[in-house]
Amino acid sequence: MQWVTHSIVVMVADVLVVLFSFFAALWLRFDMHFDNIPGDYFATYLRIIPIWCLITLVVFFAFKLYHSIWTYVSIDEAFTMVKAYAVLVLCYVLSKFILKIDMPRSFYFFGVFIAFFLHMFVRFSYRLLRYITNRYVKINEYKSGEVENVMIVGGGSAGSVLIRDLNNDSHQNQRPVCIIDDNPTKIGRELYGVPIVGTRDDIVAKAAEFNIGSIVLAIPAASPKDRKAILDICKETGAKVRILPGVYQLASGEVSVSRLKDVELTDLLGRDPIEIDNNEVFKMLKGKTILVTGGGGSIGSELCRQIAEHQPKQLIIFDIYENNAYDIQQELVRKYQGGLDLVTLIGSVRNTHRIGSVMKKYKPDIVFHAAAHKHVPLMEDSPNEAIKNNVMGTYKTAQAAAEAGVKTFVLISTDKAVNPTNLMGASKRICEMIIQMMNRRTPNTNFVAVRFGNVLGSNGSVIPLFKKQIADGGPVTVTHKDIIRYFMTIPEAVSLVLQASQYARGGEIFVLDMGDPVRIDDMARNLIKLSGFTPDVDIKVEYTGLRPGEKLYEEKLMDEEGMQTTENKLIFIGKPIEMDDEWFEKKIAVLDIDSQEDDENIKKYVQEIVPTYKPGSMS
């Protein structure tokens, strides 16, 4: 309805322009004296002008000049107007001969000339008025100190769009005052009136010179390493840093202030995303029935997303938490609109009958076992639950998979399983041992494990905690100044899981080379800086001490596991560890009974199974 109203307003304005322009042309022709206009000329004007008004509306409508949104009118509309006027002039000329109109030649020339510019003005008037108003508002706010000075890093297409967006939006109390670009030929020039003042080496100096409060990184195509290098410089300015998410926004025309995001720690990892051979993964998953336990969790839900893209025959989400399962179910239903055979089931991997009946009914080809308790401090306080869910859940799910004839079973494990100092890590180490035992016993099923480090963005990860603490004004809490961790993103972790499934021959523990470890203290301080604050001045960093079972550093492989390479240079294989399967299975049975009885000595029993488990070690 609003669009119709706007169109009618413009159409009325166009008619008034035609009436005025050709009357003005007649008036100008006769020395700007109305009394000098001959009566027959004025009568001809009155006869022809309704026809020309109608012709104008028809031509403009044909060229869709009434479909534009005034707020975003641009050079495209100007070119369309030129084309429309070429047709319009031709129609005017034809009507002159058809209706045998006799008017001075200057009448046509001046009339078309005046009408063209007035029609242009009608279409650009709203944007011009908005620009003038916003500039006036911003100048007043700047004088009163209410506007924040912004530095744009990147003088390309994305940067230009963001500058225009900032200048045109009166609700944005930010003002672009300078641009940084590594192209030396651009230095000294201006982009929409904003000077390009230097390269990345000048960021710190120019931030101080222009009193910068916020920096926007507008280089969507920058590599992760290049982005990290620039962000490392930006964080030294004390300004808040935001970033354009990715190059796809530029391609889809979605570059705007509203699309900016705060810098994430993923932007500071400084390495290219893990890439996998999608063709091979596609061949492995296409047409298969696939079950994901814990399918509503951070890793499980991303597994479901990526699996769904590879055209499985059927995808089964199995989770005990109905809200999580419902969320991923609805997301996939919306995305695939019936093009995905999706089954969502609620149940526990601890329930032998339930997981067994699901396996027998759906007979999956591949099982991704992501269901697990993962929070270290919570599992220290509830060790029996870690055994019930992680150990016995894996054991029961693996047995059900073997009985149902599953081809490949992939356990989601963790680097905390290596020389564990906490019960969660020890429970996952037992899970890996279960997988290797099951692989030796079940020749028709390939049982493998995938071991990776901390996942950025997962439920309960450290980054959301740091962000909340910063938003609350601090302090930001770190357990130990020297604690280090390996990190990867959720999509990277899932990519590794899928690649491992492709490489699976049975019994392997796949490990990702995640690059250099990161000091948690550095992460916290960098996040504070990138939020525009000074660590220990604006936001305090407090060291709370290592929690029970927490390590200073994580290891990726046990010494006896060794290291084998794969086709992917970032994925390695730990060798299966020999053990007495009969003895191990008896220990599992005892552990199951002890966990049900809530035995306080559960950690001692776990240590008998995992000799490398040293509870409470701070190494």
The pLDDT tens digits of the residues spanning 412-447 come to 998 888 888 899 999 999 999 999 999 999 999 999
Question: Is residue 477 within 8 Å of residue 417, measured between CB atoms?
Answer: no
**Is the peptide bond between 475 and the residue preceding it cis, with omega within 30 degrees of 0?**
yes
Strand spans (E) along 154-213: 174-180, 190-191, 194-198
Higher-scoring residue by pLDDT: 543, 246? 543
* pLDDT reported for residue 77: 75
CA 380 to each of CA 225, 259, 427, 600, 602: distance values in angstroms, whole numbers, following the listed order: 38, 41, 11, 12, 11
Angle formed by the axes of helices 39-62 and 2-29, nearest 10° = 150
In angstroms, the CA 52 to CA 21 distance is 12
Say which residue the tokens 């009163």 belong to.
144
In angstroms, the CA 501 to CA 492 distance is 14
Mean pLDDT over all residues of the chain? 82
* pLDDT reported for residue 3: 55
In angstroms, the CA 262 to CA 529 distance is 12
Instruction: List pLDDT tens digits, range 454-476.
Output: 777 665 567 778 888 888 888 99
A 10 A CB-CB count for 443 gives 8
Angle formed by the axes of helices 462-471 and 520-530, nearest 10° = 40
Question: Is residue 325 within 8 Å of residue 296, measured between CB atoms?
Answer: yes
Read off the amino acid at residue 173: N
* pLDDT reported for residue 511: 84
- The torsion angles phi and psi of 27, rounded to 5 degrees, stand at -65, -45
pTM of the model: 0.62
Q: How are beta strands 454-456 and 190-191 bridged, if at all?
A: unpaired
